[in-house]
Chains A and B, each alone.
Chain A
């Protein structure tokens, strides 16, 4: 399975498919991951042949470049090819079951897994705050009610029990499918949220971009100096405001320059600007007016080719000016925010502007976002099972076969909420229906 999964996916530099089956074990191969004729990444592939691997099974390790985007692409493609994500501790479990770990080794791994736990626990709490586990519990409960009715038909067929109204069941499954699809759509938006909403801080050199970043983060992450052009690389950091995670990118100032390194910095800024979800454009009132600001905003839109990301024009150093006068000066530019990065003046206004802009992007707070890839997979499987229920009802399959798919859906939703199902059904039956001769 491991080797076959890279078939027609992993190619050498000449574009020839690499056959892992005939490759030497414990070798690292350089090549390209190509999907649908599109290059995904240049990667290193390590080959382990069972039983000489961690788990004892044939294993392939792909080392790709450190981009979350690439990792997710690779995972998505592998999943399309029929692979699934490992469960928690699954590699160690397999290693153990295959006799590759003895007690002392296993204990060492145990510590690692325990550490993972703490994090997994926190993640679960976060998700609870995010609220979709509650929605899933609710969906699952409806399915359990539905499944109980079917089980009632099966286990108490001889008795005077009510039958599950197929019409109602059909409607319920359709509604549930709709809700699950909604959650699935929320997965992409949720992913952005989880990794941080990319916010680019742009502007001319020395308008105080790094100072703004530091002010937002309350720490001296970016180097601040009086010399224009100090920030030549892109500095990133995360900040949670009102429960939303932002990924701020401080960039080199935008100007025509002969300095090669600085020019690369500017190009990079434009590259990031093209990927940003929000652009904060900072300007210095000493050096600009409404017209020049409008031109600069136009410029960054065009050069970055990013016409979707909301632009927030921000006037720095506003503590040195009369507020009314500044507003008057920039009145032709929409939604200008006045701040002082150095003193922190009106920084809160910028933060709340960021939050409301972000919420417009990701949907309102009440919308539910799935951020965990494993959960997204469970949702996908649950949806698949429910599709089969619909299909089965159209074919008039017998109740036990419908129940089979339904339980599959319940099991998958339960994997998200951490609940197991069997007793739920019987408990539900006993509490709701008069049964027993």
Chain B
């Protein structure tokens, strides 16, 4: 037929699949993006939002590398908020509410503008293998597409089963059928598979809600954005609303517990503890008399509403009756009930850090198939799988981010070295170096690498170079220039901090907790004229400020990171027989033999492997 041999075939066009296809294609691979339904490319299957705490940092990182999630999110944003503003800069986390349909449309537009991406609507039912080597993808129409590498991003579709009360039916998403064949074939090849569960809340007709009974949650007054490129900053925003459940709501929900697939044991897969269904929250935390709900708009031009916090797989009539007892929901109409979905995943310890499977060369996994949850988690894996599939095809070494480079590095390393038995979501507390992994410096951390591998464009690279030069200049000037007590003391007194006796460098003043650079510029003419002379961007000023104010913490984390990275680059032979090393603890021998870590650093993070075991390993391997 019309189809040439591809370099990379991406199966699935969700957040992971879209990023994978775009990355591989932009680096120069010929890519086929295969999806069961061209109308559902880049669906936000669950909440209409991107980013949030730890996730917003990931979106920034994807963007810094040259991925598209940040751009798409900015173009489809309904609302922007920088979460955790009151905390240190490492905690600042951008989040957008998005127009769900616009989000999908923008993604499709970007993909269609990518010359190397072809599309095909069909269901992949298996891999085509020749002489024990991966050689293509077989579809439900009986076609075989030839390629050198495959990225599987099947999301919740592999043998997906949807549960609503006692009803259950096959499906990958509401109204869409499940995908079959792939799991069975991979298990035959020797892969291990498991089941996971996730859920989604009901969608409501916004015309039936009384918002006067809810709290309003507006976007930021000065909205920011995700992308480091010149995407538009939103000028008008849509608010979200907050309301609460109550004891009456809980009582009604309890009447459905007998028919709940969760409590009757019909669902076997493990769900995420941090994203529990409403029935889970009620039964596990029975002392709480209310739970918070976020009422989120699904778009500019739709009345559809997403009830964040009310994920449920109870019978639809129980959901409906309970909803109507929530303030503001007295007359609510449902578009569709919430449901739970079970799907196949492949324990990610079967992967290398490149996201290529250990068992089959050229086969990459990304997204929920690896046991993760969340658009951002999926997208960043797709990006890395796309990059590494392209590099595999071109016989280049994989790109692997360290835990001290990026949240993406933390996520992939966690998956590969620890595995996961519940859907994995990113948290800032998973990162041991979160002071380094900030949303404000993702470009400085990652754009040079993205540029080097041919993904981030020239404009991004030049922008980062300029920002770096500028902020370092600001730091140097503030470090070199002193300020007189007479100028600064009246202001320090107002702030309630000690006056200075003799002139002091500006950095020392800025280092005080009560002081910030913006007020310093406003209040102190010397600082103002110095900054005016430098004529640098707001971003460069912010970067300088953060690097000055948090210098102590940043240095300590850098030190810890360099200590860890020394182990990180000591490779372990893949065929090392740990059982034959008697000085290792028994538990370490078994765990190491099972997981076969690639480096000493990874070995050190496996639970049950203690520091003494690492010392032993160190002397047992050569360079």
Decide if B308 touches A157 in the complex (CB within 8 Å): no
* Interface status of B239 (Cβ within 8 A of chain A): no
Residues 585-615 (chain B) with a chain A CB within 8 angstroms:
607, 610-612, 615
Decide if B429 touches A157 in the complex (CB within 8 Å): no
* Interface status of B623 (Cβ within 8 A of chain A): yes
Decide if A92 touches B292 in the complex (CB within 8 Å): no
* Interface status of B235 (Cβ within 8 A of chain A): no
Residues of A within 8 A of B566 (CB): 97
* Interface status of B309 (Cβ within 8 A of chain A): yes
Decide if B612 touches A157 in the complex (CB within 8 Å): no
* Interface status of B275 (Cβ within 8 A of chain A): yes
**Interface stretch (choices B177-185, B283-291, B297-305, B341-349):** B283-291
Kindly identify which residue among B607, B618, B622 contacts A92, using a CB–CB cutoff of 8 Å.
B618
Q: What are 8 pairs between A and B in contact, CB < 8 Å?
A: A88-B611, A93-B615, A97-B566, A110-B620, A113-B616, A154-B87, A399-B88, A422-B430
Q: How far is the CB of B129 from chain A (nearest CB, A)?
A: 38
Q: How far is the CA of A109 from the CA of B582 in the complex (A)?
A: 14
Decide if B53 touches A157 in the complex (CB within 8 Å): yes
Decide if A107 touches B620 in the complex (CB within 8 Å): yes
Q: Chain A 417-432, CB within 8 Å of chain B: the 1/0 string?
A: 0101011011001100
Decide if A396 touches B288 in the complex (CB within 8 Å): no
Q: How far is the CA of A419 from the CA of B53 in the complex (A)?
A: 27
Decide if A154 touches B553 in the complex (CB within 8 Å): no
Q: How far is the CB of A117 from chain B (nearest CB, A)?
A: 6
Q: How far is the CB of B97 from chain A (nearest CB, A)?
A: 12
Decide if B90 touches A400 in the complex (CB within 8 Å): yes
* Interface status of A435 (Cβ within 8 A of chain B): yes
Residues of B within 8 A of A113 (CB): 583, 615-616, 619
* Interface status of A99 (Cβ within 8 A of chain B): yes
Q: How far is the CA of A356 from the CA of B513 in the complex (A)?
A: 55
Tell me the nearest residue of chain A to B293, going by C-beta: A437
Tell me the nearest residue of chain A to B92, going by C-beta: A400
Count of inter-chain pairs, beta carbons less than 8 A: 132
Interface residues on chain B, number (Cβ under 8 Å): 51
* Interface status of A130 (Cβ within 8 A of chain B): no
Q: How far is the CA of A111 from the CA of B517 in the complex (A)?
A: 57
* Interface status of A114 (Cβ within 8 A of chain B): yes
Residues of A within 8 A of B615 (CB): 87-90, 92-93, 113
- A residues neighboring B (CB under 8 Å): 87-90, 92-93, 96-97, 99, 101-103, 106-107, 109-110, 113-114, 117, 120, 151, 154-160, 395-401, 404, 418, 420, 422-423, 425-426, 429-430, 434-437
* Interface status of B224 (Cβ within 8 A of chain A): no
Decide if A398 touches B570 in the complex (CB within 8 Å): no
Q: How far is the CA of A160 from the CA of B616 in the complex (A)?
A: 47
Kindly identify which residue among B285, B432, B570 contacts A434, using a CB–CB cutoff of 8 Å.
B285
Decide if A155 touches B54 in the complex (CB within 8 Å): yes
Known: A154-B91, A157-B83, A434-B291. A103 touches B621 (CB 8 A): yes
Decide if B583 touches A155 in the complex (CB within 8 Å): no
* Interface status of B86 (Cβ within 8 A of chain A): yes
Known: A154-B84, A434-B281. A110 touches B616 (CB 8 A): yes
Residues of A within 8 A of B428 (CB): 151, 154-155, 400
Residues 418-436 (chain B) with a chain A CB within 8 angstroms:
418, 427-430, 432, 434-435
Decide if A404 touches B435 in the complex (CB within 8 Å): yes
Q: How far is the CA of A93 from the CA of B617 in the complex (A)?
A: 10
Decide if A154 touches B53 in the complex (CB within 8 Å): yes
* Interface status of B257 (Cβ within 8 A of chain A): no
Residues of A within 8 A of B618 (CB): 89, 92-93, 96-97, 106
Q: How far is the CA of A429 from the CA of B274 in the complex (A)?
A: 9
Tell me the nearest residue of chain B to A111, going by C-beta: B583
Kindly identify which residue among A156, A400, A426 contacts B87, using a CB–CB cutoff of 8 Å.
A400
Kindly identify which residue among A96, A404, A420 contacts B553, using a CB–CB cutoff of 8 Å.
A404
Q: How far is the CA of A97 from the CA of B428 in the complex (A)?
A: 31
* Interface status of B103 (Cβ within 8 A of chain A): no
Q: How far is the CA of A437 from the CA of B95 in the complex (A)?
A: 15
Q: How far is the CA of A430 from the CA of B553 in the complex (A)?
A: 28
Residues of A within 8 A of B309 (CB): 437
Residues of B within 8 A of A157 (CB): 53, 83-84, 87, 91
Q: How far is the CA of A420 from the CA of B418 in the complex (A)?
A: 13
